[in-house]
Amino acid sequence: MRYNPEPVRRLARILLNAMTVVSLLLFVAILGLWASSGGNPIAIELSRCFTSEPDHVRSLHCVAAAWDGRIILGRDRWRWEGERLEEGRARAADHGPAWRWTRSSTPGWWGQTYWGGSSWGPLRWDFTDWTTPAFLGERRLVSVPCWLVAMSAGSFPAWRGFRFLRRRQIRRQMARAGRCAACGYDLRATPGRCPECGARSAHSDPAGVIED
Ligand SMILES: [Zn+2]
C-alpha cells in the first residue's frame, strides 16, 4: 500500500491558513491601535497581590500599551518579606485580593522605555532590579515600534498571497501546455486525471488543453 500524505498536507494547510488569518488580524489590530492612539497612550494593566504565604507578599503588575507609535509590553514583580513584610501587607490590602485590571490613557510606570532605558535599533527596553535583602523589585519592559510589528505580522500573509498567485499562474501555464499541474506529466493523451500522480487536471477539456 502506498503512503498517502494527503491528510498531513491538509493539516499543514489548515495550520498555515490559521496562521495567515491570525497574522492578518494582528496586522489590522496594530494599524487600528496605531491610528486610534494618535500619539496618546492607550494602556491596559492587570495586577494581582498574592498573600497566601505567611512569610512574604508578592505582587504582579502587567501592562500592554500603545503610545506614540510604539507597542509596550511589560511587568513589575515585587516581593516583600522580613522587615518590609508589613509594607507589602498594606499594599496588598490596598489592592484587594482579586485580579484587577485598569484601562488608562496617561503614561504610567510602563513609560520608562519611552523616557529612558536601553535601546538597540528600533527596540527599547528597561530591565531594572531594586532587590534588597527584604525586598525584591523587578521591572521588565520592552517596546517596539508599531510599524515593526505591523511589518512582521503582515509579511507572512503577504508571502502566502504572493505564493498563492504564483502557484495559480504556474497551474494555468501547465494546463495550457497540457501538463499535470502537480507533477508535470504530459496529459495530452489522457486529459482529466493524471495517470502518473492521480491529480485531477484543472483543465479537463482536451480541446483546450492542447495548444502548442
Ligand atoms: Zn500528475
208 CA from centroid of ligand 1 (Å): 18
Q: What is the CA radius of gyration of the chain?
A: 28
- 200 CA from centroid of ligand 1 (Å): 8
Residue 204, pLDDT > 90, answer: no
pLDDT value at residue 202: 53
Determine the distance separating the centroid of ligand 1 and the alpha carbon of 183, expressed in angstroms: 4
Over residues 146-183, the pLDDT tens digits come to 999 999 999 999 999 999 999 899 888 888 888 888 88
User: What is the DSSP secondary-structure string of 115-147?
Assistant: HSSEEETTEEEEEEE--BTTEEEEEEEEEEEHH
Per-residue confidence band for 2, with pLDDT thresholds at 50, 70 and 90:
low
193 alpha carbon – ligand 1 mean position (Å): 8
Asked if residues 201 and 181 have their Cβ atoms less than 8 Å apart, the reply is: yes
**Percentage of residues in the chain having pLDDT higher than 70:** 90
Task: Give the model's pLDDT for residue 22.
Answer: 95
Q: What is the pLDDT of residue 153?
A: 93
190 C-alpha to ligand 1 centroid (Å): 11
Q: What mean pLDDT value characterizes the chain?
A: 87
pLDDT band of 206, cuts 50, 70, 90: very low
Query: CB within 8 A of 27, min separation 6: which ones?
Result: 150, 153, 154, 157
Give the C-alpha distances (Å, rounded to integers) separating 189 from 181, 192, 207. 15, 10, 11
What does the pLDDT read at residue 4?
65
For residue 210, how far is its CA from the centre of ligand 1 (angstroms)?
A: 16
When mean pLDDT is compared across 33-37, 65-69, 100-104, 190-194, the lowest value belongs to: 190-194
For residue 59, give the nearest of 42, 78, 72, 31 by alpha carbon. 78
**pLDDT of 205 strictly over 50:** no
By three-state DSSP, how is residue 159 classified? helix
Q: Extract the C-alpha cell encoding 88.
A: 507589602
Note the pLDDT of residue 3. Answer: 64
Euclidean distance between CA atoms 75 and 46, whole angstroms:
9
Q: Is the predicted pLDDT of residue 200 greater than 80, yes or no?
A: no
Cell numbers at 177, concatenated: 501546455
For 168-172, the CB contacts below 8 A with 24+ separation are 171/202, 172/202
Count of CB atoms situated within 10 Å of the CB of 111? 20
